[in-house]
Amino acid sequence: MQKVYLDNAATTQVREEVIARMQQALSVYGNPSSTHSYGRSAKTEVEQARKTIAKTLNAQPSEIIFTSGGTEADNMILRCAVRDLGVQTIITSKIEHHAVLHTAEELEKEYGVSVRFVELDKDGNPNLKSLESLLRADDSKKLVSLMHVNNEIGNIIDIKRIGELCKETGALFHSDTVQSIGHYPWDVQKTPIDFFTAAAHKFHGPKGIGFAFIRKNSGLKPLIFGGSQERGYRAGTEPFHNIVGLEEAFVQSYANLEEETKTVKGLKQYFIEHIKTEIPDVTFNGLSGDMEGSTYTLTNVRLPFDKQKGLMLLFHLDIKGIACSKGSACQSGSNLGSHVLQEILSEEELEKPSLRFSFSKYNTKEQLDYTIQVLKEFSES
């Protein structure tokens, strides 16, 4: 039996360079907030990591705030925008990550914020006319929150045009960019956006660390109180080893971006072509079968199996050593199924099992051949 990991949208294998850097960092045990030499040594590396990330994004170091990951960063930005900036209306979509959707729901209860949902087309992309209509509907202070790359179906939104619409109408713009940071080039001077978020473990870094980009002079105030760390935005001793691990993963991702994008894109194209050959009735959810309209890192397939057979599919793949998923890892304990697919598929289509296969530089065509062969044999059994 082979061992095949095709759940890279959930988390990725940590690069060897990152592990080595973090092991080295563990010997630097000073508290970065301490003023003695031990603390200064750690603080220097934390600030260097901030500068490195900012330079790649064409941002200012003060605009990079380290967090425990994307979920915390999304929560912080949405909550503080309502509390500190007077946001009265949140415009989002029903296929966002639950870090955004559930936060918006809570803000509706706590602050009476109006939560409005942009219409989606049949593939799951936000309708820009619907967005513009919502933006111009009234004079309330608005925040738009739409993810750059959908974590389940891989659709890529027109982030620049959406940012321009927000700017034209005076709305703030936040994007969950957890699936795109580390995989696509970014320049915050060319992208009209106020806030976005990242998580290191999505681009071969450690879990438990990420960052928020918060545009200078945004007006946001701290969410977590207790100390002056992270420019006062986030109290608490900085996880130094994780921060330098994030930096190393970030540096490696962008230093090798062109080569690794080509490799992973080739794997996705190969998977799409070969699964269509071996299982002709397979279909692709959203734009995940479109090499241009979706990210090169994942595809979401709907298989021609009946519901009863589909119940055993993930278990069967796991037994065969293949790791993939039905959707977001953050809702794996739920029996409700994918909220993303429920929004874009018909009842009949939802009866068929759907799986997300997500790829990385560590995968091979031989692994994909094995996976497709296991699926084919299961379909014929």
DSSP string, 33-47: T-SSHHHHHHHHHHH
202-216: pLDDT as tens digits: 999 999 999 999 999
3-state DSSP call for residue 70? helix
pLDDT for residue 333: 47
Average pLDDT of the residues in 189-218: 97
Q: What is the dihedral of CA 118, 119, 124, 125, to 10 degrees?
A: -60
DSSP annotation of 122: T
Q: What pLDDT, on the 0 to 100 scale, is given for residue 161?
A: 97
In which residue ranges of the chain is CATH 3.40.640.10 found?
A: 16-255
pLDDT one-digit tens code per residue, 328-348? 555 554 456 899 999 999 999
Cβ neighbours around 328 below 10 Å, total: 20
What is the rounded average pLDDT of the residues 246-251?
98
Q: Is the pLDDT of residue 327 over 80?
A: no
| Residue 91 pLDDT | 98
Can you give the pLDDT at residue 330?
55
Say which range, 221-225, 291-295, 369-373, 374-378, has the weakest mean pLDDT.
221-225
- No. of H helices and E strands in the chain? 13, 12
87-101 per-position pLDDT tens digit: 999 999 999 999 999
In angstroms, the Cα distances linking 252 to 91, 100, 236, 266, 324 are: 35, 29, 28, 20, 25
Q: How open is the CA angle 55-56-60, to the nearest 5 degrees?
A: 35
Is it the case that residue 132 has pLDDT exceeding 90? yes
By the 8 A CB rule, do 285 and 300 touch?
A: yes
Say if strands 283-284 and 210-214 run parallel, antiparallel, or are unpaired.
unpaired
Catalytic annotation present for 330: yes
Read off the tokens for 14: 């940590």
359 band by pLDDT with thresholds 50, 70 and 90:
very high
pLDDT at 307: 83
Average pLDDT, the chain: 95
Domain at 16-255: CATH code: 3.40.640.10
Confidence of residue 268 (pLDDT cuts 50, 70, 90): very high
Give the CA distances from residue 285 to residues 49, 297, 327, 343, in Å, rounded to whole numbers and listed in that order.
38, 15, 12, 11
Which ranges in the chain are annotated with CATH 3.90.1150.10? 4-12+257-380
| CA separation for the pair 48, 42 (Å, rounded) | 10
- Report the CATH number of the 4-12+257-380 domain: 3.90.1150.10
Using the predicted structure, report yes or no on whether residue 80 has a pLDDT greater than 80.
yes
265 touches 184 (CB < 8 A): no
Lowest mean pLDDT among 112-126, 136-150, 273-287, 334-348: 334-348
Q: State the Cα–Cα distance between residues 215 and 195, nearest whole angstrom.
A: 6
Choose the most confident range, by mean pLDDT, from 24-33, 98-107, 219-228.
98-107
Q: How many CA atoms lie within 13 A of 241 on its CB side?
A: 14
Element (H, E) at 270: helix 257-278
Confidence of residue 238 (pLDDT cuts 50, 70, 90): very high
Look at 49-58, 135-144, 192-201, 304-313 and tell me which has the smallest mean pLDDT. Answer: 304-313
Name the percent of the chain lying above pLDDT 90: 91
